Amino acid sequence: MRDRITAQSRSTDHITDHITLQVTRYRPEIERETTMQTYEVPCPKDWVILDGLNYVKDRIDGTLSYRWSCRMGICGSCGMTVNGEPKLTCATFLSEYAPGPVRIEPLRHFPIVRDLVVEIGDFMRKLTSVKPWIIRDREREKPLSDGEYLQTPDEMHEYKQFSMCINCMLCYSACPIYGLEPSFIGPAAIALAQRYNLDTRDQGAEERLAVLSEHAGIWGCTFVGECTKVCPKNVDPAGAIQRYKLQAAVESLKSYFMPRGSR
Amino acid sequence: MAEFHDVVLVGGGGAGLRAAIAIAETNPRLDIAVVSKVYPMRSHTVSAEGGAAGVIGADDSLDEHAYDTISGGDWLCDQDAVEAFVEEAPRELMRLEHWGCPWSREPDGHIAVRAFGGMTKMRTWFAADKTGFHLLHTLFQTSLKYTTIRRYDEWFVTKLLVDDGRVRGLVAIDVMSGKIETILARAVILCTGGCGRVFPFTTNASIKTGDGMALAWHAGAPLKDMEFVQYHPTGLPFTGILITEAARAEGGYLINKDGYRYLQDYNLGTPGPTPVLRSMELGPRDRLSQAFVKEVEKGRTIDTPYGPVVHLDLRHLGERKIETKIPFVRELCQRYQNLDPVTELIPVRPVIHYMMGGIHTDLTGATPLPGLYAAGEVACVSINGANRLGSNSLPELLVFGARAGRAAAEYAANSRPPGDASYALLAQANDERHRLEQLFARTSSGGVRLAALREEMQTTMEESAGIYRMAEPLRRAAGTLCGLRERAAVAAIDDRSLTFNTERLARLELSFMIDVAETIVRAALRREESRGAHQRTDFPARDDRRFLAHSLVHRRSDGGAFVEYLPVTITRWPPAERVYGRAHA
């Protein structure tokens, strides 16, 4: 029993097919530009792209760098560009690309730090800028002992999909606007703002609108819709942006006709 | 030049973020740092699926939650800690609600709760089946509004700095630049989670390498109850992806190759069409995992390329129920196993899931080392005893994260800044820098791959410290680990780049894991009884006379280790037999 458990967990004996990975390499101390390196890896049916990279790292070339953690599509670490498309590499089967080769590059539109690792500081600042926390009117604040803020399943449904974002940044990598205009606040940050705006427990929409109405906020988007197509969690950031624009337009009209206090 | 913060947290998962917020709210004058080897929202808390226990129903009581936890833990829990835990858990979960956590709701808008393994009442709060994900993102996003919290994302801590018996800072590698930096502090809180990666087959993410446990152990804090390692009975083969207990709570069956609900043969009750709390498929995790091994021995499991499995059958629940109650289970099966649980059986097997043991702390999260605190899976208070109940870990990291944060805030506010001690601390930091530079400069000595050493360690651990244990394999494992440490010390690191060098991190993680593995093996060897997750085939009975006690593994200054025992705190529930599948007192 023990032997069987041990032997099988790492065994690759049952694997016959192989596939070629073409992987971006970049070590800033050594290379001035990125290069491509080729590796041959096994390709069993249940291996994902990430399993192929781990095979390289563990058995062929320990110098390859990339981010990964959960291998179950929830931590958001392992987004890369696979044959030109942004993908979560833990949720993309290698066999889909048979007979290969498969080209694995870092996420586009972000500065490359090293090999498949990109710099995400700009993304993190944008997430923070939309104030992604509950902003409640003072008079609605209540102590914990008064229990929960009631919210029906239908009310939750309004914002639920926008709360499913895992911050994998595939949408930024797919967004042609972000590619051209790095100050564009981007799909995930706008979806996150909507996640709170549409929550019945939150009254911060106006504050967030101020951030998003700036030139690089929602108005940058021209409804290309690539963000929604690549989202591995079906968040629909494009829908969030569209709703937001409508709301922003209504608010700006209101501000023409009504004094601020009466809204 | 060193950075300085009042309180430094190591780890930015659920416990670390809860602690950081607690400090910010307790004392806005304190300067807080969160140092984590990954961006906080990547932390492993994100993977928790099923839920978080906290008494909320009118038919439920704190005493019942306490009793379930204590009996589930085979009476190794400290009962004063459990009482504090069950009392504060509902408040912490409610606080998450106020911060925006999308807890699943009843039609009238109240919080919904579900049944969970080992719990006699419905008290498990959930956010569909992504509870950990929502909890972590709610905490992370909420933490962003506190300007006193400064983050060091993707910094890898290599050593705690101790001066005059007090922890006063740490050395860390800024992964992006490769620079080795020093951060001084009045207090440090370790919240780095568990160490599932010391075993070959685990639900744990790749980052779960026991870093905090090893850091504390080297600094001089003992590790407690390390022999108690939880298997989760239902992981997908190969990937180790966890199929949540909620799948069984919603009515899933575990069946062997004959389609037989085999748990009825293991004193876990009689099979009925609908789930019964604490019975059959809702029995505790350790008993279910042990039943699997017995089924393998009887030849009643199904052989696959990844070894023996049993089947989890959800087909009778129907598509509608699966889609509304456990959609993530279906998503995982389809995306990672290429099967649909609506029409097909799910192959499952026990996988390493959780460490009951960890850094020895008191009820405030304080370790025996002044200035050092710990909370969450990395710590052992202990509320989990010999076996943690499902849905107790998320409330644990909230309750004890908050407690550790408050305690560290008070300690920091009343302690001196490093001041006079700085010289000694910086000298220590300098030594650590030299150690790391030498380690990384080692040239190739003939092809020992880090991964090969890691796999050998993992195999050793499964063979000696798996579901069933015996003295001889444990003794052999201790020797193997010693050899592995020596070979790891001379293993080559091919990557010479400073920038985002993950091979260097893998080397440091391997050292941490070997240290942690050694404490597990030592504690398992010494505990000559069977209790909860620790099952010795050579000592099959529980032995309260000798072992109603926590093990503490200490590190000697010469690098060796010794084990001592600490009595369990019993308040109101004297040790009794663990009974499942029928009524209990």
pLDDT tens profile B200-225: 999 999 999 999 999 999 999 999 99
CB burial string A148-180: b at 16+ within 10 A, e below: bbebeeebbebbbbbbbbbbbbbbbbbbebbee
**Does ipTM come in above 0.95?**
no
Q: Are A133 and A196 in contact (CB under 8 A)?
A: yes
* pLDDT band (50, 70, 90) for residue B188: very high
Interface test with A, best of B49, B333, B493, B497 (most A CBs within 10 A): B497
Residue B24: pLDDT over 50: yes
Interface residue B342 vs chain A (CB under 8 A): no
Q: Which residue of A has its CA nearest to B306?
A: A8
Minimal Cβ distance to A74: which of B47, B463, B500: B47
B469 catalytic per annotation:
no
Least confident stretch, A244-253, B402-411, B491-500: A244-253
Interface residue A95 vs chain B (CB under 8 A): no
Q: What local confidence, expressed as pLDDT, does residue A62 receive? A: 94
DSSP for residue A101: -
> Would you call A9 and B201 a contact, using CB atoms and an 8 Å cutoff?
yes
Q: What local confidence, expressed as pLDDT, does residue A223 receive? A: 75
Identity of residue B190? L
> Are A55 and A183 contained in the same domain?
no
**Two structure tokens written together for B114:** 């579900």
Interface residue A137 vs chain B (CB under 8 A): no
Q: What local confidence, expressed as pLDDT, does residue B307 receive? A: 84
Residue B545: pLDDT over 80: yes
> Are A158 and A229 contained in the same domain?
yes
* Cβ contacts of B205 on chain A, cutoff 8 Å: 69-71, 75
**Two structure tokens written together for B331:** 């998503």
More confidently predicted of B306 and A164: A164
Identity of residue B413? A
B248 catalytic per annotation:
yes
* pLDDT band (50, 70, 90) for residue B512: very high
In terms of Cβ atoms closer than 10 Å to its own Cβ (0-12, 13-18, 19+), residue B331 is middle
DSSP for residue B302: E
Distance in angstroms (rounded) separating the CA atoms of residues B135 and B51: 10
Minimal Cβ distance to A134: which of B99, B296, B462: B99
* Cβ contacts of A29 on chain B, cutoff 8 Å: 497-499
Minimal Cβ distance to A144: which of B98, B176, B336: B98
Q: Which residue of A has its CA nearest to B40?
A: A75
* Cβ contacts of B498 on chain A, cutoff 8 Å: 29
Q: Are B202 and B354 in contact (CB under 8 A)?
A: no
* Cβ contacts of B102 on chain A, cutoff 8 Å: 156, 159-160, 163
* pLDDT band (50, 70, 90) for residue B491: confident
Minimal Cβ distance to A69: which of B104, B107, B205: B205
**The domain boundary residue, chosen from A102, A118, A134:** A118
Q: What local confidence, expressed as pLDDT, does residue A259 receive? A: 54
Residue A261: pLDDT over 80: no
Which of B149, B153, B110, B195 is closest to B21 using CA atoms? B149
Q: Are B346 and B197 in contact (CB under 8 A)?
A: no
* DSSP secondary structure string for all residues of A52-69: HHHHIIIII-TT------
> Are A33 and A146 contained in the same domain?
no
* Cβ contacts of A115 on chain B, cutoff 8 Å: 500
**CATH no. for residue A143?**
1.10.1060.10
* Cβ contacts of A199 on chain B, cutoff 8 Å: 100
> Would you call A148 and B110 a contact, using CB atoms and an 8 Å cutoff?
yes
Q: If you average pLDDT over residues B286-312, what whole number do you get?
A: 92
> Would you call B47 and A151 a contact, using CB atoms and an 8 Å cutoff?
no
> Would you call B99 and A133 a contact, using CB atoms and an 8 Å cutoff?
yes
> Would you call B495 and A63 a contact, using CB atoms and an 8 Å cutoff?
yes
Reported as a single tens digit per residue, the pLDDT across A67-113 is 999 999 999 999 999 999 999 999 999 999 999 899 999 999 999 99
> Are A240 and A213 contained in the same domain?
yes
Q: What local confidence, expressed as pLDDT, does residue B420 receive? A: 67
Q: What local confidence, expressed as pLDDT, does residue B15 receive? A: 98
Minimal Cβ distance to B463: which of A2, A48, A201: A2
State the CB neighbour count (10 A cutoff) for residue B562: 12
Q: If you average pLDDT over residues A234-247, what whole number do you get?
A: 88
Reported as a single tens digit per residue, the pLDDT across B130-142 is 999 999 999 999 9
> Would you call A61 and B241 a contact, using CB atoms and an 8 Å cutoff?
no
> Are A71 and A141 contained in the same domain?
no
Minimal Cβ distance to A91: which of B99, B201, B335: B335
More confidently predicted of B2 and B568: B568
> Are A75 and A109 contained in the same domain?
yes
Give the minimum alpha-carbon distance from A34 to chain B in angstroms, rounded to a whole number. 14
**The domain boundary residue, chosen from A87, A118, A149:** A118
> Are A129 and A250 contained in the same domain?
yes
Minimal Cβ distance to B499: which of A46, A114, A133: A114
* Cβ contacts of B105 on chain A, cutoff 8 Å: 151-153, 156
Reported as a single tens digit per residue, the pLDDT across A33-77 is 999 999 999 998 889 999 999 999 999 999 999 999 999 999 999
> Are A39 and A106 contained in the same domain?
yes
Q: What local confidence, expressed as pLDDT, does residue A10 receive? A: 43
* Cβ contacts of A234 on chain B, cutoff 8 Å: none
* Cβ contacts of A8 on chain B, cutoff 8 Å: 237, 305-307
**CATH no. for residue A55?**
3.10.20.30
Residue located via tokens 């829990």: B77
Q: Which residue of B has its CA nearest to A154?
A: B107
Q: What local confidence, expressed as pLDDT, does residue A7 receive? A: 35
Q: Are B98 and A149 in contact (CB under 8 A)?
A: yes
How confident is the prediction for chain B on average, in pLDDT?
94
Q: Are A135 and A53 in contact (CB under 8 A)?
A: no
Taking a contact as any Cβ pair under 8 Å apart, which residues of chain B between 430 and 459 contact chain A? 449-451, 455, 459
Distance in angstroms (rounded) separating the CA atoms of residues B351 and B242: 8
Q: By three-state DSSP, how is residue B350 classified?
A: strand
Q: What local confidence, expressed as pLDDT, does residue B467 receive? A: 94
Q: By three-state DSSP, how is residue B257 classified?
A: coil
> Would you call A46 and B337 a contact, using CB atoms and an 8 Å cutoff?
yes
Taking a contact as any Cβ pair under 8 Å apart, which residues of chain B between 312 and 331 contact chain A? 331
> Are A145 and A170 contained in the same domain?
yes
Minimal Cβ distance to B500: which of A14, A76, A113: A113
* pLDDT band (50, 70, 90) for residue B295: very high
Distance in angstroms (rounded) separating the CA atoms of residues A48 and A29: 31
Distance in angstroms (rounded) separating the CA atoms of residues B397 and B45: 9
Q: What local confidence, expressed as pLDDT, does residue B187 receive? A: 97
Interface residue A73 vs chain B (CB under 8 A): yes
**Two structure tokens written together for B485:** 């440490």
Q: If you average pLDDT over residues B349-377, what whole number do you get?
A: 97
Give the minimum alpha-carbon distance from B181 to chain A in angstroms, rounded to a whole number. 20
> Would you call B97 and A148 a contact, using CB atoms and an 8 Å cutoff?
yes
Give the minimum alpha-carbon distance from A175 to chain B in angstroms, rounded to a whole number. 22
> Are A127 and A250 contained in the same domain?
yes
* Cβ contacts of B42 on chain A, cutoff 8 Å: 67, 69-70, 75-77
Least confident stretch, A110-114, B83-87, B321-325: B321-325
Q: If you average pLDDT over residues B408-429, what whole number do you get?
A: 88
Q: Helix A205-212 and helix A187-197: axis angle, to 10°? A: 160
> Are A71 and A145 contained in the same domain?
no
* pLDDT band (50, 70, 90) for residue B199: very high
> Are A23 and A50 contained in the same domain?
yes
Residue B471: pLDDT over 80: yes
Q: What local confidence, expressed as pLDDT, does residue B244 receive? A: 86
Residue B473: pLDDT over 50: yes
> Would you call A29 and B337 a contact, using CB atoms and an 8 Å cutoff?
no
Interface residue A37 vs chain B (CB under 8 A): no
How many inter-chain contacts (A to B, CB under 8 Å) are there?
193
From first CA to last CA, the distance across chain B in angstroms is: 62
Catalytic one of B114, B232, B550, B578: B232
Which of B14, B276, B342 is closest to B122 using CA atoms? B276
Q: If you average pLDDT over residues B290-294, what whole number do you get?
A: 93
Reported as a single tens digit per residue, the pLDDT across A188-215 is 999 999 999 999 999 999 999 888 887 6
CB burial string B332-371: b at 16+ within 10 A, e below: bbebbbeeebbeebbbbbbbbbbbbbbbbbebbbbbbbeb
Q: What local confidence, expressed as pLDDT, does residue A42 receive? A: 95
Catalytic one of B134, B151, B248, B534: B248
Quote the percentage of chain B above a pLDDT of 90: 83
Identity of residue A168? C
Give the minimum alpha-carbon distance from B388 to chain A in angstroms, rounded to a whole number. 22
Q: If you average pLDDT over residues B16-22, what whole number do you get?
A: 98
**The domain boundary residue, chosen from A118, A142, A172:** A118
Residue B100: pLDDT over 60: yes
Q: How many domains does chain A fold into?
A: 2
Structural domain span for residue A71: 4-118
Q: What local confidence, expressed as pLDDT, does residue A4 receive? A: 35
Q: CB within 8 A of B257, min separation 6: which ones?
A: B300, B301, B302, B310
Residue B313 has phi, psi (to 5 degrees) of: -110, 115
Residue located via tokens 């993102």: B137
Distance in angstroms (rounded) separating the CA atoms of residues B482 and B466: 19
How confident is the prediction for chain A on average, in pLDDT?
89
Helix, strand and coil in chain A, % to nearest 5: 45, 15, 45
Interface residue A9 vs chain B (CB under 8 A): yes
Q: What local confidence, expressed as pLDDT, does residue B579 receive? A: 77
Q: Which residue of A has its CA nearest to B95?
A: A144
Give the minimum alpha-carbon distance from A249 to chain B in angstroms, rounded to a whole number. 27
> Would you call A113 and B176 a contact, using CB atoms and an 8 Å cutoff?
yes
* pLDDT band (50, 70, 90) for residue A159: very high
Q: What local confidence, expressed as pLDDT, does residue A8 receive? A: 37
Q: What local confidence, expressed as pLDDT, does residue B580 receive? A: 72
